[in-house]
Chain A
């Protein structure tokens, strides 16, 4: 994963609430076995309208998306994060995110920035004409008009993003701790530690 320090540029003033992952990437685009090319299907229904923001000359390829409450709700499909990346979006600012989506975004190096609705309203206004800057190191969102909105981020996620760390590799390095947990679970909860397939008495 590439390291992320700052995301700066035009921000799409989208603003919609409860944007589910079926809207971000409809199910028919999930039949792939690679991570590439999802941008084509991103926001397909909305982009059927020729006047949509995503394809407007002004916002096409913008690195930031500003959305409403509960962004990324619904399905766990990571394809939603891949679709955003393929559109060029590397940061989303919203009042709240679904838990699964924010995890998926983080694992793909997409910054999810939580700000109060008031700040979102102001950024939506600025975004129509001017760029927005997200500084991960200092945890701020700023505009050319002296706006400065601080945001919170999980310190571990911040560390991983700033250093471009591979979480699977990090956890594999803790193999001994995992083995020692498995050893104790084998005694304490053997039915969980070792499932045995045997002839059942039940049908459905």
Chain B
């Protein structure tokens, strides 16, 4: 096995095989399991009914994020403010009950470490390079930015992992997406992954695990890499991976769950050995010139509907595939856009800066840099910043970023998933547009009838000032 050159994915896979069956299916050991309130209640209930314990509560971490309001959670006396939505409250209460019952650590709504599960995992050092990480959430792909094999699972699989700490899996095919060259001014990790999504389409990665390589990817910070890997699922790939390097080790070192002492040295040596071997074969290779990437925005209702911010809304006839033409027609109607319309002419009423894609400190810094000394346009009704975790919030406040946002007319909120999917009260009203740093522009994603344009934090900030989708590069020059 060791003689054949292997990819990063194959090395992590091989290190986690408990059993290999004749048909190639493997029982894979899961090193870290993140649990949130939406996809776990039915799994815990099934365990309870069958009288099954959680095999490794010490490898499991529970964090509520989807339903939590992002408004104040405690009153002046430190007492919990009740959640108005009774169903949300019930789901959160179930997690608060289930975690201690099964011996799992819960980072609760009042803890400074609480946040979006995909922000908390890396931040706490719970997510590590080379680990297998799962969560009942498709954006678990995010943790691949650290070089972990991380993917989303359904509730039955959550139950399977809780009970056995393993999953039965077939090995995926491998794809290399190589981005070579330097990113231009105003071009961020989000623009890179939107661009990739436009090329691969929403299903181009189905059945694959994608390794993002090349100088443009290596040049990104860990926050940027997490943004890229986060959206691997938007091209259909269950997991994305970026090889761990010195930047990764510097990011992980000293975090609460990170190894230390002699274990740290052994871990780093192993992490270094995981890089894809020279000569290892990917089933598919896509090469992208970084110079071709500009600030990008979506126009439709699939993450593949990407155009440069300098571009125009396409016409259904621009697509060769008849079913895509049909989908484009429906998208244009839903989005209230006309073919040929310039994206920078599209007025927005809402701006959302947050989500597991873009709510880390670097994202907030990028948005604040654009907003400093400026204010949102009067037609922007609602502009909101939702930090990815309580620690991100603290850090941003220490840097004075909250003041920049508030001065620019933004609301500064408590951490959570928020308007990315509107399970809590943060929603975009029907018929209104939102420049959003989230990951999905599906029909009704940010609330029934909401119209989402996916953008980077810098573009979201520039759009808030302009009141329209805006090219951040023009703003910087003015």
Interface of A with B (CB < 8 Å)? Answer: 15-18, 20, 22-23, 26-28, 30-35, 45, 68-70, 73-78, 81, 96-100, 103-104, 107-108, 154-156, 167-168, 171-172, 174-175, 177-178, 181-182, 185, 189-192, 194-204
- Cβ-closest chain B residue relative to A180: B18
Q: Do B203 and A73 have beta carbons less than 8 Å apart?
A: yes
How many angstroms between the C-alpha atoms of A108 and B159 in the bound complex? 13
A101 to chain B, nearest CB (A): 8
- Residues of chain A within 8 A (CB-CB) of B88 are 31
B136 to chain A, nearest CB (A): 6
How many angstroms between the C-alpha atoms of A181 and B170 in the bound complex? 19
Q: Do B27 and A100 have beta carbons less than 8 Å apart?
A: no
- Give 18 pairs: A residue, B residue, CB < 8 Å, sorted on A: A22-B440, A31-B88, A77-B39, A78-B39, A78-B42, A98-B203, A103-B157, A168-B163, A178-B164, A192-B130, A195-B59, A195-B126, A195-B257, A197-B256, A198-B256, A198-B260, A202-B123, A204-B394
Q: Do B163 and A75 have beta carbons less than 8 Å apart?
A: no
Asked whether B421 is an interface residue with its Cβ less than 8 Å from the other chain, the reply is yes
- Residues of chain A within 8 A (CB-CB) of B55 are 178
- Of residues 139 through 172 on chain B, the ones whose CB sits less than 8 Å from some CB of chain A are 140, 151-157, 159-160, 163-166, 168, 170, 172
Q: Do A77 and B154 have beta carbons less than 8 Å apart?
A: yes
- Residues of chain B within 8 A (CB-CB) of A31 are 38, 67, 85, 87-88, 90-91, 423
- Residues of chain B within 8 A (CB-CB) of A27 are 421-423, 445
- Contact partner, A73, options B41, B67, B202, B260, Cβ 8 Å: B202
B109 to chain A, nearest CB (A): 16
How many angstroms between the C-alpha atoms of A82 and B264 in the bound complex? 44
- Cβ-closest chain A residue relative to B360: A204
Known: A45-B443, A156-B25. A168 touches B168 (CB 8 A): no
Minimum-distance CB pairs A-B, first 3: A191-B259, A201-B254, A104-B154
- Residues of chain A within 8 A (CB-CB) of B18 are 174, 177-178, 181
Q: Do A203 and B394 have beta carbons less than 8 Å apart?
A: yes
How many angstroms between the C-alpha atoms of A20 and B67 in the bound complex? 21
A6 to chain B, nearest CB (A): 23
- Of residues 18 through 49 on chain B, the ones whose CB sits less than 8 Å from some CB of chain A are 18-19, 21, 23, 25, 27, 29, 31-32, 38-39, 41-42, 45-46
Interface bits B225-266 vs A (CB < 8 Å: 1, else 0): 000000001001010000000000000011111111001101
- Residues of chain A within 8 A (CB-CB) of B23 are 154-156
Interface of B with A (CB < 8 Å)? Answer: 15, 18-19, 21, 23, 25, 27, 29, 31-32, 38-39, 41-42, 45-46, 50, 52, 55, 58-59, 66-67, 85, 87-88, 90-91, 94, 123-126, 128, 130-131, 136-138, 140, 151-157, 159-160, 163-166, 168, 170, 172, 202-203, 206-207, 233, 236, 238, 253-260, 263-264, 266-267, 270, 302, 304, 323-324, 327, 360-361, 389, 391-392, 394-396, 421-423, 440, 442-445, 448
- Cβ-closest chain A residue relative to B67: A31
- Contact partner, B168, options A22, A28, A171, Cβ 8 Å: A171
B142 to chain A, nearest CB (A): 13
Q: Do B203 and A204 have beta carbons less than 8 Å apart?
A: no
Known: A27-B422, A168-B159, A189-B15. A35 touches B448 (CB 8 A): no
- Contact partner, B395, options A17, A34, A203, Cβ 8 Å: A203
- Cβ-closest chain A residue relative to B423: A27
- Contact partner, A30, options B38, B254, B258, B263, Cβ 8 Å: B38
Q: Do A78 and B156 have beta carbons less than 8 Å apart?
A: yes
Known: A23-B443, A156-B168. A200 touches B42 (CB 8 A): no
Other A-B contacts than A26-B444, A204-B389, 20 sampled, CB-CB below 8 A, are A15-B323, A18-B203, A31-B90, A34-B41, A73-B203, A74-B440, A76-B136, A76-B138, A78-B136, A78-B154, A99-B172, A104-B155, A154-B25, A168-B50, A178-B29, A189-B130, A189-B270, A192-B131, A195-B58, A198-B260
- Residues of chain B within 8 A (CB-CB) of A98 are 203, 206, 236
- Residues of chain A within 8 A (CB-CB) of B323 are 15-17, 68-69
How many angstroms between the C-alpha atoms of A27 and B423 in the bound complex? 6
A168 to chain B, nearest CB (A): 5
Q: Do A200 and B255 have beta carbons less than 8 Å apart?
A: yes
- Residues of chain B within 8 A (CB-CB) of A17 are 323-324, 327
